[in-house]
Structure 1
Amino acid sequence: MSKLATGLISALLLGATAIAQDTLQYDGETWQVAAADNGAVRVEQALGREALYISRAQAWRRDVDLQDFVLEYEYASTDESGFIGVNWRAADENALEQFYVRPHQSGQPDAAQYLPVLNGIAGWQIYAGPNEAQATDLPAREWIRVRIVAIGDAADIFVGDMETPLLHIADLGSETSGGAIGFYMSDRFWVEGTGSWFSNISIRPVTPQDRLIGESRETDPLPDTLIGNWAVSEAFDEALLDAGYSLPELDDERTRLAVEPNGIANLSRLAGPSQGANTVLAEVTLSAEEAMTRELSFGYSDRVRLYLNGEQIFAGNAGWRVRDHRHLGTIVRVDRVPLRLQGGANVLTAAVSESFGGWGVSASLDSFDGLSIDTD
């Protein structure tokens, strides 16, 4: 299956191994469509109007190349299930902005979600706070209006209520300068027969009268002891970690990566995982005035092995549905481990492996007293 950077349209959610591509005409426009072998894109009558039907597929306006725009559409889900959304500022299939709704989570905190797709990874496990995900009612077989206003580095997203944005994104994540707009619908691989209709689609550049009116929701402040920068290696095969409890021998090439505004280092800013290269080393050097113990609080996705001065001190798996069928794998700093530091330089290394939903790490110490941090 070719990589479809619609985020949730993946082998896991499509349950498919082939993608058919074609074009169709809808509402006077040409749409480029791509459907899995169990999906479809077609024009049909639905709920009293002509609509674009999408099931486990995507439909793109490739003739559109906009950075600042107003997008309006209505959608209606066939069932109370699925991931129904839109990609925009799609520079290519691996770098874009994304918004979608989850009808099966209607009324829940993650009913609607924003995220950037970076290097082909839709990092919903990273962008899961109240400014990226929100509750809203999403009844099936009813037309629901959506409006997205994107200006500069920010966007307002309205769902149903056209007066107050459901989401205000103060810092769009993809850093693309424009691109195509496309709709998609996918679902979990064990759910069959679901789809969505789209209609009344309007895409236009912003005018001087268009404004962003939303405000960011208040979130807990980041700790003063957050590790704000990491030195990150090139990607390698996770199997190299299975040889023992010591770090594998790698070259010394490292790239400095700052954390996102939410305190998470989004490793997909540097690379996307591939077969045989799904793991990176993220490191910091802790210089201690004397021998001491500090507690590290951390979160990660999907798997991590922590090393202090080359020796493994922790291993864990927080991937989607790994711990139980409700486990989402979002990144929160809830795991803890003591760091028994020697006087002088100590290298803390997180070997982070990715499968699905977000590649990242976040960590803070209980105190910086007697410590300095270096990521160079």
Structure 2
Amino acid sequence: MSIFKYYRPNIFFEKAIRYNELYFSANHELNDPNDLKATYYFEDSPELWRHLLSLDSISSAWNILLHVSCDDSELIFQLNSLFKDVEIDSLTGSVRDAIKSKEVALKELFERSIVDSPVQSDTGLSNESSKEERASLCVLIITELLARAVNHKFYSVSFSKSALDPMMWAHYADGFKGCVLMYGGLDGPELKLRTHLMSDKCEVYPLREVKYIDSGKRIPILECATKGKAKVEEAFLQKNSFWDYEKELRIFTIEETKTHLMAAIDRKSENPRQRIFHHGTNFITGVIFGPRVDESYRKFVEVTIASNRQYADEKYPFFSFNTVLDPHGRLEVSAASKIINQDLFREVYDDNKKAKLLLDLGIVSPTTGD
């Protein structure tokens, strides 16, 4: 299986071929402003609110059932009514902001619902604490419970199943002046990446297919807090059908924030860690040059990839392809060769062998030849 990534001829591309880098992008770094962006919403479901209150607490101090009962139907009904249809923007909003917008009513609701039971000392309260104080703690705890649905930030790397799409070349490869890297040798639908160039430890990243759907990306908060975050990943794999020509595949890395911090402070945490990961040297199986790439840059790219492979445990050859744009706007592979070593000794393919190679590598479709 081959997958393809379009590059402009810049320092990021040169780092990709020299250091085997993949960079995970945030929303503001992507072309589509709605990518990696969604709307969280509160469902109309008393049962999910009951389940939320019953979740295991992060510690006894954060156990809301020391103060209220999940069998209090009036409490459950009022919580559901208070937040039903409230929405949170995944980039600019927060659960804490949503709670603050309802804080007065929420405190009154909890104060009316406080159970008559001893207060554990590790909560910071005592048996003499007022219902108002205990209600304020409940507001903090329920913020933490809801934060479990949104305590993540997604970053992505995009690939394509298409190697020769003219629109992709025009946009992502700097008007046909860039290159497409071909990646292969996948162990099933996943990639193995290292967080540091010198690390021997790999982590597995599933390769997921983007779905093109003309509808809003909405994520149910209560379901994600209580049943897991499958709906979150589904939303961040959805794009408008306008982009379907990209035939996109992507991998994610996810940063998670401690939910008790999200409940207690307004400031969003910033992770200083670089989002640059590294793949194996032989993962780059070929490079496709745009029609506007000159000979000197082509040689530079081939030498860089070939030299990099000298440090692999097993030194595999890679393929090099030249392209032309025909009068109908279609991109065609005009020449194909296998680079054998860093001296750029190569096997040049004739037309028949080239046609078979393009099919075998998935550069053209077996049905249409495109």
For the pair shown, the structure with the greater C-alpha radius of gyration is: 2
What is the TM-score with the length of structure 2 in the denominator?
A: 0.22
Q: Higher strand fraction: Structure 1 or Structure 2? A: 1
Q: Which has the higher contact order (CA 8 A, sep 6+)?
A: 2
Q: Higher helix fraction: Structure 1 or Structure 2? A: 2
